[in-house]
Amino acid sequence: MKTLWAPWRYTWIKASKDGVDDCFICDAIKDDPSKDKENLLLHRGGKVIIIMNRYPYTNGHVMVAPINHVSDPRGLIQEEMFEIGDLTQVMLQALTNAMGPHGFNIGYNIGRVAGAGLEPHLHEHIVPRWNGDNNFMPVLGENRVISQDLFESYDQLKEELRKLIIP
């Protein structure tokens, strides 16, 4: 087994987030829909939203989250689970159409030790991946290269979602 060193993550790991009640997902949901772009909120569904990650691993990194403030998938109702599944499929197609990734990482980080940056609000990550997208920059240069502006990505993905979802 090889070890992948990720020293840039240590700052996040050691930062104390105990007692923090802020939830950027709930804040974006509660905010006026006219601010969806500012909040990077791509889609408001019946029980689920799609929101872009403000600190992405790659361009196009999005999250599918229930509107309901739950921290664990066992707290979801059936309609939320189905809508998360449906919107995940739609988002995969939108990302494929817009950005042409070679693959995806999809998953949940449940609990702080699992890497959850926002523990109290469950969210599924969809991370587009390209051949050769991991290079020396994060390890040697302590920098991650994101090749597209967040709001440019937002506009591109929003347009693809308009084509795939009836507004």
- Hey, which residues are catalytic here? 123
Question: Which amino acid is it at 50?
Answer: I
Q: What does the block give as tokens for 142?
A: 């302590």
Dihedral, 128, 133, 134, 138 alpha carbons, nearest 10 = -90
Find all residues with CB under 8 Å of 15, minimum gap 6, and list them. Answer: none
> Which alpha helices (H) appear in 5-111, and where do they start and end?
10-14, 24-30, 36-39, 78-99
